[in-house]
């Protein structure tokens, strides 16, 4: 079996793994562009500027569900392509209206102006509506293209987004670093990725509509899928708050430099894992609808869940053990504390990414009310953890409470989701035990390397550990493939 075939085998059946690999090819290139650039960017922009920019991006993330009322989730469900096209147009129209209203509020509504002024954000808040618009149009278009199975186009768009964002940020930083350069990079990246989708989106929309857009059909979609704004939107809003709560709380208790240190520690792990999660989620939503109709949702969900655990457990474990040394070596001594934060929050980040594609099961099974209840409970737990940590006046205490609380609630959510799919508790827990045991010897070796008090020795040990874990994965998957082939032969 070739290396390529073994990589493809990580994601199970060919109808699922092929489109995911297409998306991950773009994600992989985007990841390399972003992370090679980060070595430079973290030396150009001080932590304070990252803190301000990430605060604005946090509000973008939180307002994402409100901007479209989550009608984009409806475009995967109809079997009729024309109805799906109207769902896409309804979601885009809602984004346009909501971002215009947001601009008016930020520019002219005194309480909103005062809110940002008190936090010394001021003019940077005006980036928020444009950033929200750019992000949502790009992401909703990606979802539409996923429905069309245009995964190659999406992969190219991800490369365009990462490359253009990096180019704008580096150029702006060399001219004169400031929060504006980071924000313009964010906006420009998504706008240019949308531009790369336009031709394909236009052609597939025309083909799906087969005639003019009708107001009564837009109204039908709005009524038929009203559960999305009624339950999915509030649940998604709370879910965004769960993930981004510390980004809102830290400026209330600490300064922008600490905010920047935390945000970069969080993002260095969250961003690549979220690219993996979003690539899987786009295909998972499409395939889950199909396999649910065929009565095979449990097996499919368990397989995808196990593969997500496999692909995320190594980087999470390594950064828990040697995050401070790795950040010191790659980004400079001033960013060491960002890596130290990962000791507590890395498991929470990992489980958030593993849970992300799985949450589509609420939509597939039309259990949006249960989703809202679940996320509300999670929100209360995270809010309590952040408040208690903030009141302590110690950022490390806040990170500790956040990591423990976040890990517990996300793990509970994963167990619930897989139970809904019909997966047994044993099959749900099995990947965590299996892959933790596999990575444990490597972690012991990396921990031993940290005792030499040399960031570069620790980083080299982590890189070597990555190669060893990759070898383990290939050997294990080859054995698994042979076992399956043997079973198939015996059945025949």
- Asked whether the predicted pLDDT for residue 11 surpasses 50, the reply is no
What share of residues in the chain are helix, strand, coil (percent, to 5)?
Answer: 90, 0, 10
Residue 375 pLDDT level (bands cut at 50, 70, 90) = confident
**For 66-69, which contacts have Cβ atoms below 8 Å and span 24 or more sequence positions?**
66/98, 66/233, 66/237, 67/94, 67/95, 67/98, 67/99, 67/102, 67/132, 67/136, 68/92, 68/94, 68/95, 68/98, 68/136, 68/140, 69/94, 69/228, 69/229, 69/233
- Asked whether the predicted pLDDT for residue 235 surpasses 60, the reply is yes
- Chain Cα centroid distance, residue 378: 18
pLDDT given at position 361: 86
- Asked whether the predicted pLDDT for residue 129 surpasses 90, the reply is yes
DSSP 45: S
pLDDT given at position 458: 94
- Asked whether the predicted pLDDT for residue 280 surpasses 50, the reply is yes
Average per-residue pLDDT for the chain:
86
Residue 9 pLDDT level (bands cut at 50, 70, 90) = very low
What average pLDDT does this structure show over 249-268?
A: 90
- Asked whether the predicted pLDDT for residue 1 surpasses 80, the reply is no
23 in helix, strand or coil? helix
Global pTM value? 0.80
What average pLDDT does this structure show over 91-108?
A: 94
- Asked whether the predicted pLDDT for residue 403 surpasses 90, the reply is yes
What average pLDDT does this structure show over 228-243?
A: 85
What average pLDDT does this structure show over 88-107?
A: 94
What average pLDDT does this structure show over 210-214?
A: 88
pLDDT given at position 298: 87
Q: In this predicted model, which residue has the larger pLDDT, 349 or 75?
A: 349
**Percent of the chain with pLDDT strictly greater than 70:** 90
- Asked whether the predicted pLDDT for residue 247 surpasses 70, the reply is yes
The answer to whether the CB of 304 falls within 8 A of the CB of 284 is yes
d(CA 484, CA 490): 10
- Asked whether the predicted pLDDT for residue 474 surpasses 90, the reply is no
Residue 273 pLDDT level (bands cut at 50, 70, 90) = confident
Closest CA to 327 of 55, 37, 38: 38
Print burial letters for 217-226: b (CB count within 10 Å at least 16), e (below 16): bbeebbeebe
Residue 18 pLDDT level (bands cut at 50, 70, 90) = low
Count how many Cα atoms sit within 13 Å of the Cα of residue 79 in the half-sphere of its side chain. Answer: 2
**Percent of the chain with pLDDT strictly greater than 90:** 46
pLDDT given at position 30: 67
- Asked whether the predicted pLDDT for residue 288 surpasses 60, the reply is yes
What average pLDDT does this structure show over 61-68?
A: 92
Give me 215's structure tokens. Answer: 């107001």
The answer to whether the CB of 397 falls within 8 A of the CB of 389 is yes
Q: In this predicted model, which residue has the larger pLDDT, 59 or 479?
A: 59
pLDDT given at position 122: 77
Q: In this predicted model, which residue has the larger pLDDT, 133 or 149?
A: 133
Residue 440 pLDDT level (bands cut at 50, 70, 90) = very high
What average pLDDT does this structure show over 59-71?
A: 92
Count how many Cα atoms sit within 13 Å of the Cα of residue 419 in the half-sphere of its side chain. Answer: 8
């Amino acid at each position: 079996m070739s290396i390529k075939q073994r990589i493809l085998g990580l994601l199970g059946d060919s109808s699922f793994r092929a489109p995911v690999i297409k998306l991950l090819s773009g994600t992989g290139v985007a990841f390399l562009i972003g992370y090679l650039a980060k070595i430079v960017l973290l030396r150009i922009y001080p932590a304070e500027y990252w803190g301000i920019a990430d605060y604005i991006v946090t509000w973008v993330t939180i307002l994402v569900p409100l901007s479209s009322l989550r009608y984009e989730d409806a475009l995967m469900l109809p079997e009729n392509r024309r109805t799906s096209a109207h769902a896409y147009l309804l979601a885009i129209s809602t984004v346009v209206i909501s971002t215009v209203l947001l601009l008016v509020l930020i520019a002219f509504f005194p309480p909103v102006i005062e809110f940002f002024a008190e936090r010394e954000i001021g003019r940077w808040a005006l980036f928020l509506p444009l950033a929200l618009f750019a992000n949502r149009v790009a992401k909703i278009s990606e979802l539409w293209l996923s429905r069309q199975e245009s995964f190659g186009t999406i992969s190219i768009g991800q490369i365009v987004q990462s490359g253009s964002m990096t180019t704008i940020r580096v150029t702006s930083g060399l001219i004169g670093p400031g929060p504006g350069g980071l924000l313009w990079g964010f906006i420009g990246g998504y706008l240019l990725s949308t531009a790369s989708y336009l031709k394909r989106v236009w052609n597939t929309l025309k083909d799906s509509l087969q005639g003019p857009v009708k107001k009564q059909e837009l109204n039908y979609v709005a009524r038929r899928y009203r559960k999305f704004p009624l339950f999915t939107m509030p649940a998604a809003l709370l879910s965004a708050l769960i993930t981004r709560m510390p980004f809102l709380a830290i400026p209330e208790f600490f300064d922008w430099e600490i905010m920047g240190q935390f945000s970069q520690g969080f993002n260095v792990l969250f961003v690549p894992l979220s690219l993996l999660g979003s690539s899987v989620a786009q295909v998972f939503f499409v395939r889950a609808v199909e396999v649910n109709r065929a009565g095979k949702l449990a097996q499919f969900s368990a397989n995808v869940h196990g593969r997500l655990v496999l692909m995320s457990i190594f980087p999470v474990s390594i950064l828990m053990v040697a995050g401070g040394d790795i950040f010191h070596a790659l980004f400079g001594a001033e960013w060491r504390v960002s890596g130290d934060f990962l000791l507590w929050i890395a498991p929470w980040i990992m489980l958030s990414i593993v849970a992300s594609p799985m949450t589509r099961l609420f939509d597939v099974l039309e259990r949006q009310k249960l989703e809202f209840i679940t996320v509300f409970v999670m929100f209360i737990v995270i809010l309590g953890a952040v408040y208690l940590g903030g009141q302590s006046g110690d950022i490390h205490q806040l990170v500790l409470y956040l990591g423990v609380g976040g890990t517990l609630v996300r793990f509970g959510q994963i167990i619930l989701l897989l139970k809904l799919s019909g997966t047994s508790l044993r099959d749900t827990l099995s990947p965590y035990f299996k892959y933790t045991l596999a990575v444990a010897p490597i972690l012991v070796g990396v921990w031993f390397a940290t005792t030499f008090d040399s960031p570069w020795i620790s980083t080299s040990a982590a890189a070597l550990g990555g190669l060893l874990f990759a070898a383990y994965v290939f050997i294990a998957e080859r054995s698994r493939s042979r076992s399956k082939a043997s079973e198939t032969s015996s059945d025949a």
